[in-house]
Amino acid sequence: MRHRSALAAGTVCVLTAAIYGCAREPAAPRPTPESSAEARAATLDLAVATILSGSSSLSTSVSDLSSGISTAVANLASGGTVIQAAVFAGGKSTCYVRDGEAECWGQNRTGQLGDGTTEDRSAPVPVTTAEGPIAALALGYTNACALMEAGDIVCWGSSVSVFLESGAQAAYRTVSVGASHACGVSAEGEVLCWGRNSLGALGDGTTENREEPVEAVGLAGGATAVAAGVDFSCAVHRGGVRCWGSNDNGQVGDGTYAVRLIPVDVIGLDSGFAGVTAGVFHACAWTNEGEAWCWGENLSGQLGDGTGYNSSHPVKVDGIAGGVSSVAAGGSHTCALTRAGGVMCWGNNDHGQLGDGTKDSRKAPVDVSGLTGGVIALAAGTGHTCALRKDGFVQCWGLNDHGQLGNGGTEESLVPVDVERR
């Protein structure tokens, strides 16, 4: 497995089945496709979207579960063309992927937007550091990784020291970037992690930092999703949820507050789970039947159980009629995409990240203003949230000090605002 030590901001590395390369300058932009962005967006407006939450197959959809992303596959009216579209958020940055192309906005101090600069962007700019169709993105606080449709991974920004490599006969299904570590799921169902490991976030039974990916103990041949938080990680393995690493807020979910160096079962979540998402110090998972469960820090009500008490075991999120399609855990807030296509949020609301028109924190789910239907994908950053609507528009709300709402300004918004379209 090839690796490198820490690189300067803006450095780009690419891993493929055949080559490994790093460069200080970003790769040249991809050629513009024959159809314009406006034409593709107009076509997407006509689409009927089908949510495929929790899928691990690149041929249908890809989920970055650390950011609570669901990827929608739309069957278009004109010619049956298939477009994959999703929205991603992490830290104070946001990205949108549509039909293999990506654009990002927000904080860019370390080049995490992938546009070859370190200038913050208050409106979308194209990602030029990854050549070829992009299936999904994973955003950390100062870096980003793109999962290419071919199964390779391209990373940029800072503190991205190692990459997952697709072998000659294999591809990687998902990648998740935490604060100082990252994890991915291979086509064989293995969970591999790398980076800081002082509190066991890599799950290899040690506290040694790793420059090369190491396998999380006991998760071979059955993992379908992974989520990286701040010094802890969670995965869906054979339908159950397992977590490991830092546990001072109960975020491992095993009923204790002890650091776990290898994956342990989350109490009661042993089967039927479609996905998992990790915030800063809390995590949530959702079932195939639409139930949502959360655990860990709850000082702002981000667990959605109506209390403000931390929980070292999962608590059920109530008050979401009809169930959820996916969940996105932010810094200290949480949002869910309902099966009816609406968005509900709970937890910290200091910057309006719940989208209900107030700054009142909520201990139970509330509707996001104007988004009671028509949403197909959802993402949460540290203090902002974004949704992809089935008409092709992206809307964001909450903190906007680095332009992460993408509306051309830097003022926070208590309700969803449209992201500018290129």
Identify whether 30 is part of a domain.
no
pLDDT at 180: 87
Higher-pLDDT residue of 371 and 168 is 371
Quickly state the pLDDT bin for 165 (edges 50, 70, 90): very low
State which residues form the domain around 142. Answer: 12-24+39-418
Number of domains in the chain: 1
Query: pLDDT (tens digit, 9 = 90+) per residue, 326-374?
Result: 999 999 999 999 999 999 999 999 999 999 999 999 999 999 999 999 9
What percentage of residues in the chain have a pLDDT greater than 70? 77
Residue 171 lies in a domain: yes
Q: Between β-strands 232-237 and 240-245, what pairing exists: parallel, antiparallel or unpaired?
A: antiparallel
CA distance 406 to 413: 11
Contacts of 348 (CB under 8 A, 6+ apart): 300, 301, 302, 331, 332, 333, 361, 383
In a domain, 72, yes or no: yes
Residue type, 335: C
Q: Measuring CA to CA, which residue among 418, 414, 344 is closest to residue 384?
A: 414
pLDDT at 195: 87
Q: What is the CATH number of the domain that holds 338?
A: 2.130.10.30
- DSSP sequence for 84-132: EEEEEEETTEEEEEETTEEEEEE--TTSTTSSSS---EEEEEE--S--S
What is the pLDDT, as a whole number, of residue 14? 34
Task: Identify the CA nearest to 246 among candidates 229, 259, 233, 262.
Answer: 259
Please report whether residue 7 resides in a domain. Answer: no
Residue 73 has pLDDT above 50, yes or no: no
Q: What is the mean pLDDT of residues 11-26?
A: 30
Partnered with residue 191 across adjacent β-strands are 185
Whether 361 is in a domain gets the answer yes
Say if 288 falls within a structural domain.
yes
163-195 burial by CB neighbour count: b if 16+ within 10 A, else e?
A: bbbbeeeebbbbbbbbbbbbbbbbbebbbbbbb
Cα angle 56, 59, 61; round to 5: 50
pLDDT of residue 155: 81
> What is the overall mean pLDDT for the chain?
81
Rg (CA), the chain: 19
Q: Does some domain include residue 222? A: yes
Question: Rounded mean pLDDT of 145-168?
Answer: 66
Contacts of 10 (CB under 8 A, 6+ apart): 24, 26, 110, 111, 116, 118, 156, 157
**Is a pLDDT exceeding 80 seen at residue 174?**
yes
- Give the pLDDT confidence of 233-290 residue by residue, as tens digits: 999 999 999 999 999 999 999 999 999 999 999 999 999 999 999 999 999 999 999 9
CA 339 to chain centroid, in Å, comes to 19
Q: Is residue 391 part of a domain?
A: yes
Tokens of residue 336, six digits: 């869910």
What per-residue confidence (pLDDT) applies to 150? 82
Q: Give pLDDT, residue 56.
A: 26
- The CA distance from 389 to 108, in Å, is 25
Query: Taking a C-beta distance cutoff of 8 angstroms, is the pair 419, 409 a contact?
Result: no
Q: What is the pLDDT of residue 83?
A: 52
Residue 166 is predicted with a pLDDT of 43
